[in-house]
Structure 1
Amino acid sequence: MSVIRGTSLTGYPALVTELGGDPAALLGEAGIRPDDVGRFDVFFAYPALIDALEVAARATGTPDFGRRLGARQGIEILGPVGVAARTTGTVADAFAIFEHYLAAYSPAIGTSISPMSDERLSFFEFKILSPVPRTCPQVVELSLGVTLRVLRFLLGTEYNPVVVWVPHNPLTPRPDYLHYFSCTPRFAQPRAGFTMQTSDLTRPLVRDELAHRAMLEYLDLIIDRREPDLRAPVRELIRHLLPAGAATVPIIAGQLRLHPKTLQRRLAAEGTGVGTLVDEVRRELARHYLTETDVTCSHLARELGYSEQSALARACQRWFGVSPRQLRTGAE
């Protein structure tokens, strides 16, 4: 279900007004009632959030609108999810709360923490789980901005990550990102999130057992724990495994701790299969990289797990009816 709480737009009316815009008109254009903004007890469609940010950025001539709004929000927008996270034992425990319970704030998004090749570093990822109709740089930058505020709430106001990963080209000069995030920015990345020191995960928090347990009991009541479909996690694994040419049934099944036949059977019940999902992910990544970035076709072919650039050309012709070069120049 592609929805999100009204608190996701906390600060929006004031920011739009300061920038000379009409918040009620822009919210109406996105299909959001102004009275719903800032309310945790109200949901609206996640695409409406995307539209509200994109129209505000255009109407006010503010390409960093998402980052500016992110600076006005924090862990409080997450409601009981934020309370459960900040009252647990360590930063790692807080991240586990986000990963497990963020659906109470929005089932359209998710987070995860994973080790990197250098064991001293870990990666905190923000993910949009629901299909969206187009690229959405403003909502990604808003989410990265809020994530930074949450990290500084947990780790101290002076905390700085190591690297911020941005999945699109810069919307403003690179120094703006360096100043905002206080760390090295990397653009046109396959994921959105932050590289951070693994040692930070062990940092203790001020645990409040009573409040923590009460929040978990409430969250367990409101979140549907029925077995989720496999499409989203399999697509996520495919995205990570493609560059290594490892997006195969045995490897994906192993990552999910499933027997390969079980994986195939469950995907078939959902009307899809690994081959279909690999093709979908490749198509989406190809469109993103060719229309939103300057990555070379040879590099893109490797990112998609193709051994030859000609395979990418044939795939683009099948997907879009044009060559990669034509897609990049808008000839689709």
Structure 2
Amino acid sequence: MSVVRGSSLSGYQSLVDELGGDSVALLHAAGIDPGDVGEYEVFVPYRSLIVAVETAAAATTTTDFGRRLALRQGIEILGPLGVAARTAATVGDAFHIVETFLAAYSPAIAVRFEPAATTGQAFYAFDIVIERPPPHAQTTELSLGVSLRVLRFLLGASYAPLSVHLTHEPLTATEDYLRYFGCRAYFAQPAAGFTVRTADFARPLTQDALAHQAVVQYLTGITGRHTGMTQSVRTMVRQLLPTGAASLELVAAQFDLHPKALHRRLSAENTTFGELIDSVRRETAEHYLCDTDISLSHLTRELGYAEQSVLSRSCSRWFGCGPSSYRRTVRSG
């Protein structure tokens, strides 16, 4: 099962309780520890997020639950990703950052921009990339609501896209969607998202170049400059390496894919699982050997190796010498 930061459920408990529901019982039933809700540093299964949101809407008979929950969230739920976005030079740069590094927040979702049929317009699409997700109309509306909140944070409180597109039938009166999103809603569409003016994305932001560079460097370190399934797999591998369980089968299961299906997706992006895990291990080892005083036994565990001798052989292959020699060389240079 793929994962998402616990901050994705910020405001959930207070909203459910205000609506007369039992948030703790609903979270437990969805397989989520209530203590993880709102915590950026904690991951929760994305399927559990869907179950928690959808069952809360049903239990409280609140047909616009997803939209209501979005009003209690904002760019801050994205953690460092949100910092990188709001310190970018333009709105377009901000959303490029989100598109590139979204896997740091959740490898289960993806956003992309596509040219629209009309000149001067683009389509911002939101996708859930896990296989066969349960019904998730409320979760989609939550995600679109949060995306709108981010747009309004960057473009002003009165900003409205040209149109909003939903993959399901309306959950409430269509007039509610017009009031909420400030634009016409289209239902039962092939993709969820917004049609926007490309000119809006050229608008400058109050850039903080130093903060932006620092956070982007951090995000690059934990995700790598990769896209699509490659980026998502790299993020998952980095999380699983210290457990010693970063196998093709387990990572495929995180995305609800058969191992052969994951292999085909990675092949389409000109890589293999073996190449990715080796690359992540090398980058992680290089970081720890160059920038920290972590012990070699600790580094061995961090890379998911059973014995330190395996670390030594890997470093000889990567760097031409053992880990201690490599550390001394880079620090003396």
TM-score by length of 1: 0.69
- Corresponding residue of 2:192: 192
Q: 1:227 to 1:156 in 2, by over 3 A?
A: closer
Computing the radius of gyration over CA atoms, which structure comes out larger, 1 or 2?
2
Structure 1: which 4+ aligned runs deviate by more than 4 Å? 224-230, 267-271
Cα 1:52–1:89, aligned 2, differ >3 Å: closer, same or farther?
same
Asked if 1 retains the 8 angstrom alpha-carbon contact of 2:66 and 2:139, the reply is: yes
Q: Give the counterpart letter for 2:138 in structure 1.
A: Q
Given that residues 47 and 134 in structure 2 are in contact (C-alpha distance below 8 angstroms), is that contact kept between their aligned partners in structure 1? Answer: no
- Determine the structure 2 residue equivalent to 1:160: 160
**Which residue is equivalent to 2:267?**
266
After superposition, residues 62-81 of structure 1 pair within 5 angstroms as 62-81=62-81
Change (3 A) 1:198 1:18: same
Distance 1:133 1:265 in 2: 21
Aligned partners of 1:44 and 1:132: how far apart in 2?
Answer: 18
Give the Cα separation in 1 of the matches to 2:3 and 2:266.
29
Give the structure 1 partner of residue 136 of structure 2. 136
Secondary structure of the corresponding residue to residue 113 of structure 2: strand
The Cα of 1:180 is off from its aligned counterpart by 0.7
State the AA in 2 paired with 1:266.
S
**Equivalent in the alignment of 1:122:** 122
3-state SS of paired residue (1:103): helix
Cα distance in 1 between the residues matched to 2:137 and 2:152: 23
In the TM superposition, 1:52-71 aligns within 5 A as 52-71=52-71
> What's the offset of the Cα at 1:134?
2.4
Q: What's the secondary structure of 2:63's corresponding residue?
A: coil
On the 8 A contact 1:229/1:270 being kept in 2, the answer is no
Amino acid at match of 1:96: H
Is the 1:47–1:132 contact (alpha carbons within 8 Å) kept by the matching residues of 2? no
What are the Cα deviations for residues 116-141 of structure 1, in whole angstroms up to 9, with x where unaligned?
Answer: 12112111111111224322101100
Match in the other structure for 1:2:
2
Tell me how far 1:229 sits from its aligned partner: 4.6
| Native 8 Å contact 2:115 2:123 kept in 1 | yes
- What are the superposed Cα offsets for residues 206-263 of structure 1, whole Å, 9 maximum, x if unpaired? 1101110110111112115578658x9xxxxxxxxxxxxxxxxxxxxxxxxxxxxxx9
CA drift of 1:266 comes to: 3.0
Q: Residues 103 and 176 (structure 1 numbering): CA distance in 2 closer, same or farther, change over 3 Å? A: same
Tell me the alpha carbon deviations over residues 61-95 of structure 1, each in whole angstroms, 9 at most, x when there is no partner.
Answer: 01111110011111000000010011011111011
Please give the alpha-carbon distance, in whole angstroms, between the structure 2 residues aligned to 1:167 and 1:56: 20
Assess, with a 3 A threshold, how the Cα gap between structure 1 residues 61 and 214 changes in structure 2: closer, same or farther.
Answer: same
Which residue of the partner structure matches residue 171 of structure 1?
171
Query: Which whole-Å CA distance do the structure 1 matches of 2:266 and 2:210 have between them?
Result: 43
Q: Do structure 1's residue 35 and structure 2's residue 35 form an aligned pair?
A: yes
Q: What secondary structure is seen at the aligned counterpart in 1 of 2:199?
A: helix
Shifted more, 119-128 versus 79-88: the winner is: 119-128
Choose 218-227 or 31-40, whichever is displaced more: 218-227
Q: Which amino acid aligns with 2:73?
A: Q
Distance of 1:18 and 1:202 partners within structure 2: 40
| Alpha-carbon separation, structure 2, partners of 1:99 and 1:143 | 14
Question: Match for 1:25: what amino acid?
Answer: A
* C-alpha distance 220-137 of structure 1, shift in aligned 2 (>3 A): same
Displacement, 1:115? 1.5
What's the secondary structure of 1:101's corresponding residue? Answer: helix
Which residue of 2 is the match for residue 19 of structure 1? 19
**RMSD value, Cα:** 2.3
Corresponding letter in the other structure for 1:40: Y
